[in-house]
Structure 1
Amino acid sequence: MRIIKLDAIDSTNLYLRRLSLKERLVDYTVVVASSQEKGKGQMGANWVSEPHKNLMVSVFKGHLDLPANHAFYLSRAVALAVVATLNGLGVPNLSIKWPNDILSDNKKICGILIENVFKGHCVSSSIIGIGLNVNQENFDELPQASSLKCVTGRDFDLDEVLIALLGDLKAYLAVLASTNYQAELKTAYERLLFKRGEIAEFTTKTGAAFKGVIQAVSTSGKLQVLVAGNKVEEFDLKEITLAY
């Protein structure tokens, strides 16, 4: 494992991507930044973080050889690794908001952005970006955001959180090499799925609102929702937004 620590940077994912064009990266090359100016979340959303208070990390994972239509199992594994780390730190009431935001007490404390490289019909490597709110307490204009300190009332050592996270990440990514990874990761992920089995509110990309009951997540990562007429429909990330 190689850990690169930086101060101000545009984005840890972008840094790793540029580095991969210059040299052959070893498995678990890790980039950690004290602050980043162009951090991104899902769908290009900005990730805003106070310097020196949170964990902004990107991890290179090669040799995946994961079938392309199973790419979402990587997302499942990463989300479960983060939850395992937070459980170990005593963070309460954890859940996964589809596709891979991590919530505590129904507020977002972690975002994940995974950028895959495909070769043929397989995911060959990936850059896994994780933004974890750790010691930040002020979230102006972000009422659904929180942090480890906000929910536990105590400060955390960022290096200790990083080491724990990397250990859990390696353990869960190793599951992808097992013969039973599909059932194991799907079951564990859906057990933690936010609003599963409850009436949830959604907004379509055209702004239309509707209600439904989350059933599961498909192999490809589509959200399966029981809607009016007792029908189960599938939606991808670009089609709907799930309300908190």
Structure 2
Amino acid sequence: MTALSVHDAVEGLGVQSLALKWPNDLLIDGAKVSGILIESAPGPTGHPSADPLLAIGIGVNITAAPDDTPYPATCLIGHGVSITPLDLLARLATAFQARAAQWNRGAGFETIRNDWLARARGVGGPITIRLHDEVIEGEFVSLDADGALEIRAGDTLRKISAGDVFFPNTPSRNSA
């Protein structure tokens, strides 16, 4: 939902060639323009699934992009968009409100999932996932009902809930 909100806000600025990179990045022409970090904790009842507390961090490269990253990066101004952080925040808040209504406390997950997949980079194609202890190469199949990435490696369908995603022909800036 958060990634779609960022996508919607940036798309509303007229930016072309946008794609989502699982699990939490927005790309323009294959380069990262935004990243999202989400942390959760049990809510007041202490039960993880009952009203968890969320902290969502969203970074958008507006006027500059870092050079020393494992994945190519870009910024909005490099694509002809000049916007202030407050104006971008207002657009993001509007997009987030619309996606939260669509999400409807999880009842709209399938629609969110389908919208995410329609904007995802690499579905049906080759993908490399770097985990802390292994590298998996295969085909990006889909997202499962919990949002985990499904990758077919040989005859095995694996579900990945955390990892670094790379696509063929995407230059890696370092071997992090």
- TM-score, normalisation: structure 2: 0.82
Residue 242 (structure 1) aligned with residue 165 (structure 2): yes
* Aligned counterpart, 1:214: 140
- Quote the Cα distance in structure 2 between the aligned partners of 1:203 and 1:127: 25
Letter in 2 for 1:227: A
- Quote the Cα distance in structure 2 between the aligned partners of 1:84 and 1:192: 10
- TM-score, normalisation: structure 1: 0.61
* Aligned counterpart, 2:157: 232
Counterpart secondary structure, 1:122: coil
Residue 198 (structure 1) aligned with residue 122 (structure 2): no
Residue 116 (structure 1) aligned with residue 40 (structure 2): yes
* Aligned counterpart, 2:60: 132
- Quote the Cα distance in structure 1 between the aligned partners of 2:23 and 2:2: 11
Q: What do residues 138-187 of structure 1 show as CA deviations (whole Å, max 9, x unaligned)?
A: 5332361111111x234222221111111111111122227850221010
Asked if the contact 1:116–1:123 (Cα under 8 Å) also holds between the matched residues in 2, the reply is no
* Aligned counterpart, 1:145: 73
- Quote the Cα distance in structure 2 between the aligned partners of 1:113 and 1:210: 23
Q: Structure 1 residues 141 and 179 mapped into 2: Cα distance closer, same or farther (>3 Å)? A: closer
Letter in 2 for 1:99: P
- Structure showing greater relative contact order (alpha-carbon pairs closer than 8 Å, 6 or more residues apart): 2
- Quote the Cα distance in structure 2 between the aligned partners of 1:235 and 1:132: 25
Letter in 1 for 2:159: E
Matches within 5 A, 1:166-177: 166-177=93-104
Residue from 83, 86, 95 that aligns with 2:10: 86
- Quote the Cα distance in structure 1 between the aligned partners of 2:102 and 2:144: 19
Q: How many residues align?
A: 162
* Aligned counterpart, 2:109: 182
Ranges in structure 1 where 5+ consecutive residues have no aligned partner: 1-76
Q: Which consecutive segments of 4 or more residues in structure 1 shift more than 6 A?
A: none
* Aligned counterpart, 1:39: none
- Quote the Cα distance in structure 2 between the aligned partners of 1:126 and 1:179: 15
Q: What do residues 18-38 of structure 1 show as CA deviations (whole Å, max 9, x unaligned)?
A: xxxxxxxxxxxxxxxxxxxxx
State the superposition RMSD in angstroms. Answer: 2.0
- Quote the Cα distance in structure 2 between the aligned partners of 1:124 and 1:179: 13
State the shift of 1:241 in Å.
Answer: 2.4
Ranges in structure 2 where 5+ consecutive residues have no aligned partner: 168-176
Letter in 1 for 2:80: G
Counterpart secondary structure, 2:73: coil
Q: Which has the higher strand share?
A: 1
- Quote the Cα distance in structure 2 between the aligned partners of 1:210 and 1:168: 34
- Quote the Cα distance in structure 1 between the aligned partners of 2:61 and 2:77: 8
Q: Percent identity?
A: 23
